[in-house]
Amino acid sequence: MKKKLSFKQRLHNAIGSQTVEEYKARHAYLHGVGYSREEWDYMWLKSKNTTWAHQFGRMVGYDEVYLNSVGHMDNMCCHAYGETIRHFPQYMGHDIRSSGSSGLHVLASDVIEVAEDGKSARASYLTPGTLTGPVGFDNVHRSGVWLWERYGSEFAYVDGKWQWFHEQVCPDLAGDYDTGNWAHNRYLDFIENDCTVGELGGRPAQLTEPGLFHRDYTIVQTVQDTVPAPDPYTTLKDVPDDKSYSPGRWDPTDHVLVEVKEKAVANFDAQMADNPFGKIREGDE
């Protein structure tokens, strides 16, 4: 590919590729501390075609992504902090969102391709991450959770700046450091008819496209290539739907939009026991 492009085009694409790595890392750390506003204001494209998908479905449009990822997230952080200081007054005077955070969606196995036209970039990663913290959700014990996922990410070059356009997160595995055996435990859950799928995505407040977009590991799960690693490509429009991380939403300028049916809205309840979207029970019956 590099032979076809001018030096300047190749340089633009190389900088784009490195910017993808920068944004992915910035997101990982800011997300780890619940500093959502600081990433969504800075890196994300304010487009109706901006999307963020997880196990539970896809948020569509910057406004919906912001509602869930900033408003909803801050709400949860504040609620958790309010509970934590009842148990640990040492946290008084410390940051509401970030104090006590130390878990990260670790970045590994990166594959990054920038379009020949220099207007978009696509990336996929494995993220063998941690959801660890000095104080767990019960405010009594520590948290020692690990969560391993795959990422498919798309970026657009708009107004002279690389901006985050689409994200799709695919959780596969989770467990506790270092107890139990994830593969055997999931098997036992299955044969005891106590295996749930779709519980690794958190609890969004609103979704335009709800649905189980990626199933976490079970003994009966077939191979899922939900976010295929990007191949070299010419322009985002040419990426086939089955390879895209947001099918049909290739236009960052909002001239071409995908028709949206009625939005699925769940009343947010921080204490909600179950995910309103996506959870299913699966078992040997």
Partner 1 sequence: MKKEFTDEEKVLRLWDVEEVRKVLNRHSYYFSNEQREEELDALWVKEPENQKTAAFGVNTGYYVGMEEIRKFYVDYRRKQRMEVLEKYHEAKGTPLDDEHLGLGCAAMHTATTPLVYIAEDGKTAQFQGYQAGFQSMGKPDGTADSFMELGLIHCDLIREKDGWKIWHLELERDHTFPVGENYAAKEADPSWPDPLSADFGEPTDKRTVYDPFFGWEYMFQDMPRPYETMTDERSYGPEGNLGKPYYIRDPR
Partner 2 sequence: MGRTFDAEELLGRWEDQREIKNLMGRMSQDYTLKKEGGMFSKYWSSRDDVCLGINTGWFTGPEHVKEYYAGQAERIRLESSVIAKAFPKNFEGKTEEELYGVGMMTYRPVDTPVIELAEDGKTAKGLWCIRGSYSILTPGGPQGIWEWGWFAVDFIREDEKWRIWHMQYLREIDRPCGNQWTGPWHTYEERPEFAAMKDYQEVQPNQPCTLRETYSAERPFAPSPRVPEPYGTFADTFSYGI
278 binds, options partner 1, partner 2, none, Cβ within 5 to 8 A by partner type: none
Site for partner 2 in 21-80 (CB under 8 A): none
Determine the Cα–Cα distance for residues 37 and 29; give it in Å rounded to an integer: 13
**Near partner 1 by CB under 8 A: residue from 46, 76, 98, 283:** 98
- Rule CB under 8 A: choose which of 49, 53, 62, 100 binds partner 1: 100
Q: Please tell me the distance from the alpha carbon of residue 110 to that of residue 127, in angstroms, as a whole number.
A: 9
Distances (CA, A) of 102 to 29, 73, 84, 99, 177: 9, 17, 15, 9, 14
**221 contact, one of partner 2, partner 1, none, CB 5-8 Å limit per kind:** partner 2
Look at residue 186 and give the partner it binds from partner 1, partner 2, none, a contact being a CB closer than 5 to 8 Å depending on partner kind.
partner 2
Answer yes or no whether residue 94 interacts with partner 1 by CB under 8 A: yes
Q: For partner 2, which residue of 98, 132, 196, 218 counts as binding (CB under 8 A)?
A: 218
Between residues 172 and 209, which has the closer beta carbon with respect to partner 1?
Answer: 172
- Residues 6 or more apart whose Cβ sits within 8 Å of residue 222: none
Please report whether residue 128 would count as binding partner 2 according to CB under 8 A.
yes
Which of the ranges 36-44, 79-87, 125-133, 199-207 carries the binding residues for partner 2, by CB under 8 A?
125-133
Kindly report each contact of residues 215-224 with a partner whose C-beta sits within 8 Å and lies 24 or more positions away, as own/partner. 215/55, 216/55, 216/171, 216/172, 216/173, 216/174, 217/172, 217/173, 217/182, 217/183, 217/186, 218/186, 218/190, 218/282, 219/186, 219/187, 219/190, 220/190, 220/282, 224/170
Strands 51-54 and 161-176: what pairing?
A: parallel
Segment near partner 1 (CB under 8 A); pick from 8-16, 183-191, 220-228, 247-255: 8-16
Q: What angle do CA 85, 90, 96 make, to 5 degrees?
A: 55
**Footprint on residues 181-200 left by partner 1 (CB under 8 A):** none
Q: Check residue 175 for interaction with partner 1 (CB under 8 A).
A: no
Round to whole Å and give the CA distance between 30 and 22: 12
94-123 binders of partner 2 (CB under 8 A): 106-113
- Chain contacts with partner 1 (rule: CB under 8 A): 7-8, 11, 14-15, 18, 21-22, 25-26, 28-30, 32-33, 35, 38, 87-88, 90-91, 93-95, 98-102, 104, 106-108, 128, 130, 132-136, 139-145, 176-179
